[in-house]
Every structure is written in structure tokens, then in C-alpha cells.
């Protein structure tokens, strides 16, 4: 059993909820902190110190990290393209969370601090073709990230770097590429493509109306990382000596149409696809270059999209059926 507390900021969210479960399994004393009350969290673990705090406030950050040795910052205002394209100021205000948590962590003398950055830090001009060259870490500069959300992530990455260089706080930064899985958002406007497509196919199956709206022409490409790979990679990066931001993503590239094919196959039906060409689409193509993570950790995400989507589909199906 560990004596010190491990803090998960954003512990009520999708990735935070899974990380808390993993840390509890490791025998850690965990404090999960989120702005939402625990009644609205995706997962609530009874043997955890669950707190509802707004981490944009410095006082809340001091309370959150009190007695902590490790802090994982997964708290942010975020969602899929539909959310981040229309809520740039809200996304940028997450800068307060990371800045105040770093300040509080430094004062409390935490041993290690993790920041969840994003593939949205990469320059848009490197993502204009669906036939992508996978993004290497150095491609974030010269900087022209996703407006709003991406700029916040890039700034906060650099804040972590300078807290390490100037104040000696041991910071680790992972750039997540599209994470999906059970116990996450699948409706309401913040959901991302894998969960949204699963939900639409399930609803079509249940209603008998076999049509699906696809954002864009469906030929935009992405890679998607299953949640268990995200949690394993996050733990490895936190424990490592990697001081630079590093990609944490799958390198299995698919088009959105191929993602729909996979979900249709799981559901056992074919849909008529309506392409919404004016809907938010994000960059044309994006993949994770995993050369660095393989070099440093001798590891990379490996759960296949088919396997991960199958589990996610079953979970969303059960959730919708139980309503
Ligand atoms: P999520 O929205 O499910 O979880 C984020 C949590 O942060 C939410 O529960 C929210 O209530 C909480 N939060 C927001 N503002 C807060 C505040 N002021 N104080 C306390 N809590 C606050 O998102 P997620 O998918 O679990 O993402 C976790 C982290 O990973 C985020 O930083 C996100 O930007 C990053 N990320 C996620 C993905 C992905 O595909 N899910 C990709 C790249 C980066």
C-alpha cells in the first residue's frame, strides 16, 4: 500500500474514471477531483477520496494536492470537433486549471505531475491530406495548432516544461490521439466520432430507420486509441524519464467511412449514409508516429480498432437499452 496520495484531476471524466480504477488496482491511495458532483461522474469508486472542486480556482487546487506525491491533470473543458470548434474561449480557460495545479503542486512539493495534452497541438498545414504522414513530436513547431483548444494544450505543455526547467517540478506530458471506450460520452454534443457512430447505428437498429448522418464526406482519416492502451501508456509515461511531450496514440489509420464499416459489421446491418458536408470535420487526416514511444518505452498501443469498438458498442448498446 502506498502512503502518499495520488490525485486525479478530472477523475469524474471518461479517461480520469478509468485511471482512478487502475490506480486503485495498483493499491494506491487516490483522490479523484472533478468540477461535477460525483453523482454525475462516469465512474465513482467507493474506496477513493472523491471531491467536487473547481480547479480553475487556486484555493481548490491547494486543497486538491494537499499531501499528494503524484498529480495527473486530466481536467479540461473539452469534447469532439462539434464542441471545440464552437467553444474556443471555454477550451482556453482550461489554462487556469493546469497553471493553478502546477503552482499548487510546486508549493506542496509533489514528486511527479502529468499533463494530458492532445494531437490538436499539431500544425493544421501538416494535416491537409487524408493520405497522411504520421505526426512526429517535432511537427508541433512552428506552431499553428487547432484554434482555442489546441493553443491551450500547447501553452500548457510549455508551462509544464518550464516548471521542470526553472522550478525542478518533475513534469510528464502525453499527446493523446482520439481516445474511445466504455464509460465515456456518447451523446449530448461532446461525444467524439467512435462513440457518436456507435450510438447512431444502435439507434438506427432499434428504430428500424437504417440511415446515418456522417460529418463531412467520410474520407477524413484518423487513428483511435482504446482506453486500456491510454491508461497503460499514461502510467508508463508518468513513471518514465521522458521530459518532452510524447505521442500516445494508435497508428492504425482509418477513414471515418471505414469506422462506420466496422460498426455496421458489429451491428450486423448496412446503413444509408447521408454526408453532412457543412458539419464540423476537423483536419483532413491525422495519425500518430510512434517511433519515439517505441524507442523510449519499447511499447505502443496495440488494441485493434475492431476489438475496442466491439467492447464500446456493447457498452453503449446496454446504456441505451437500459434507458
Ligand atoms: P472528459 O470531458 O470526459 O473529462 C474531463 C473532466 O474534467 C470532466 O469530468 C470535467 O467535469 C472535468 N473538469 C472540467 N473543468 C474542470 C474544472 N474547472 N475543475 C475540475 N474538473 C474539471 O474528457 P476526457 O476524454 O476524459 O479527457 C481527459 C483529458 O484528456 C482532457 O485534458 C482532454 O483534453 C485530454 N484529451 C482527451 C482526448 C480524447 O480523445 N478523449 C484526446 C486528447 C486529449
The pLDDT assigned to 239 comes to 98
Q: 280 pLDDT band (50/70/90 cuts)?
A: confident
Q: What is the mean pLDDT of residues 302-319?
A: 97
Average pLDDT, the chain: 95
Q: Is 208 left (phi over 0), alpha (psi -120 to 50) or beta?
A: left
Pairing state between β 179-180 and 68-73: unpaired
pLDDT in tens, 133-173: 899 999 999 999 999 999 999 999 999 999 999 999 999 99
Strand partners for 225: 179
What is the 167 CA–ligand 1 centroid distance (Å)?
26
Domain identity same for 16 and 79: yes
Compute the C-alpha angle 285/153/226, nearest 5°: 55
Q: Please indicate, yes or no, if residue 199 is contained in any of the structural domains.
A: yes
Domain identity same for 118 and 219: no
Domain identity same for 90 and 236: yes
Domain identity same for 58 and 193: no
What is the 116 CA–ligand 1 centroid distance (Å)?
9
Ligand 1 nearest-atom number relative to CA 184: 3
Q: Please indicate, yes or no, if residue 161 is contained in any of the structural domains.
A: yes
Place of cell 462513440: 195
pLDDT in tens, 176-212: 999 999 999 999 888 889 999 999 999 999 999 999 9
Residue nearest to atom 44 of ligand 1 (CA): 118
Q: Please indicate, yes or no, if residue 149 is contained in any of the structural domains.
A: yes
Q: Is 179 in the pocket of ligand 1 (CB under 6 A)?
A: yes
Residue nearest to atom 35 of ligand 1 (CA): 116
Q: Please indicate, yes or no, if residue 296 is contained in any of the structural domains.
A: no
d(CA 8, CA 122): 26
Q: Please indicate, yes or no, if residue 134 is contained in any of the structural domains.
A: yes
Measured over the CA atoms of residue 213, residue 214, residue 215 and residue 217, the dihedral's sign is: negative
Pairing state between β 49-52 and 246-248: unpaired
d(CA 291, CA 135): 10
pLDDT in tens, 70-112: 999 999 998 877 788 899 999 999 999 999 999 999 999 999 9
Angle between the N-to-C axes of helices 14-25 and 227-239, in degrees from 0 to 180, rounded to the nearest 10: 60
Catalytic residue among 72, 113, 149, 186: 149
Q: Please indicate, yes or no, if residue 137 is contained in any of the structural domains.
A: yes
Q: Please indicate, yes or no, if residue 295 is contained in any of the structural domains.
A: no
d(CA 184, CA 304): 19
| CATH number of the domain enclosing 309 | 3.90.25.10
Q: Is 74 in the pocket of ligand 1 (CB under 6 A)?
A: yes
118, pLDDT greater than 60: yes
- The structural domain count of the chain equals 2
The pLDDT assigned to 2 comes to 62
Domain identity same for 159 and 267: no
Domain identity same for 214 and 84: no
Domain identity same for 212 and 160: no
The pLDDT assigned to 62 comes to 98
- Residue 272 phi, psi (nearest 5): -80, 125
Domain identity same for 29 and 107: yes
Domain identity same for 106 and 165: yes
| Residue 224 · residue 254 · CB < 8 Å | yes
Domain around 268: 181-223+252-290+303-321
Identify whether 149 is a catalytic site residue.
Answer: yes
Residue 142's contacts (CB-CB under 8 Å, 6 or more residues apart) are 123
Domain identity same for 205 and 238: no
Ligand 1 nearest-atom number relative to CA 176: 43
| Residue 15 · residue 230 · CB < 8 Å | yes
Whether the upstream peptide bond of residue 272 has omega within 30° of 0, thus cis, is no
3, pLDDT greater than 90: no
pLDDT in tens, 27-71: 999 999 999 999 999 999 999 999 999 999 999 999 999 999 999
> How far from chain centre, in Å, is Cα 63?
25
Radius of gyration of the chain (CA): 19
The model carries a pTM of 0.96
Domain identity same for 162 and 193: no
Q: Please indicate, yes or no, if residue 298 is contained in any of the structural domains.
A: no
Q: 125 pLDDT band (50/70/90 cuts)?
A: confident
The pLDDT assigned to 279 comes to 84
Domain identity same for 134 and 68: yes
Q: 5 pLDDT band (50/70/90 cuts)?
A: very high
| CATH number of the domain enclosing 95 | 3.40.50.720
Amino acid at each position: 500500500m502506498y502512503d502518499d496520495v495520488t490525485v486525479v484531476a478530472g477523475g469524474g471524466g471518461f479517461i480520469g474514471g478509468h485511471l482512478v480504477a487502475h490506480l486503485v488496482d495498483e493499491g494506491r491511495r487516490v483522490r479523484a477531483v472533478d468540477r461535477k458532483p460525483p453523482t454525475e461522474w462516469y465512474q465513482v469508486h467507493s474506496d477513493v477520496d472523491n471531491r467536487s472542486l473547481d480547479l480553475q480556482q487556486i484555493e481548490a487546487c491547494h486543497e486538491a494536492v494537499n499531501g499528494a506525491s503524484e498529480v495527473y491533470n486530466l481536467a479540461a473543458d473539452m469534447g469532439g470537433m462539434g464542441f471545440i470548434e464552437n467553444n474556443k474561449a471555454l477550451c482556453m480557460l482550461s489554462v487556469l486549471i493546469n497553471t493553478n495545479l502546477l503552482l499548487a503542486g510546486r508549493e506542496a512539493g509533489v514528486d511527479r505531475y502529468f499533463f494530458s495534452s492532445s494531437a490538436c497541438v499539431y500544425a493544421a498545414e501538416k494535416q491537409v491530406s487524408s493520405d497522411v504522414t504520421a505526426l512526429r513530436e517535432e511537427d508541433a513547431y512552428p506552431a499553428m495548432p487547432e484554434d482555442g483548444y489546441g493553443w491551450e494544450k500547447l501553452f500548457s505543455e510549455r508551462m509544464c516544461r518550464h516548471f521542470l526547467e526553472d522550478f525542478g517540478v518533475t513534469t510528464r506530458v502525453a499527446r493523446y490521439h482520439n481516445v474511445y471506450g466504455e464509460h465515456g460520452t456518447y451523446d449530448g454534443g461532446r461525444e467524439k466520432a467512435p462513440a457518436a457512430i456507435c450510438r447512431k447505428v444502435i439507434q438506427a437498429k432499434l428504430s428500424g430507420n437504417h440511415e446515418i448522418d456522417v460529418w463531412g464526406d467520410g474520407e477524413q482519416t484518423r487513428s483511435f486509441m482504446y482506453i486500456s492502451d491510454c491508461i497503460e501508456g499514461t502510467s508508463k509515461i508518468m513513471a518514465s524519464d521522458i521530459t518532452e511531450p510524447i505521442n500516445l496514440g494508435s497508428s492504425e489509420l482509418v477513414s471515418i467511412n471505414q469506422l462506420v464499416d466496422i460498426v455496421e459489421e458489429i451491428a450486423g446491418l448496412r446503413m444509408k449514409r447521408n454526408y453532412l458536408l457543412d458539419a464540423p470535420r476537423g483536419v483532413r487526416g491525422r495519425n500518430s508516429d510512434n517511433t519515439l514511444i517505441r524507442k523510449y518505452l519499447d511499447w505502443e498501443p496495440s488494441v485493434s480498432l475492431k476489438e475496442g469498438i466491439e467492447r464500446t458498442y456493447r457498452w453503449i448498446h446496454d446504456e441505451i437499452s437500459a434507458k
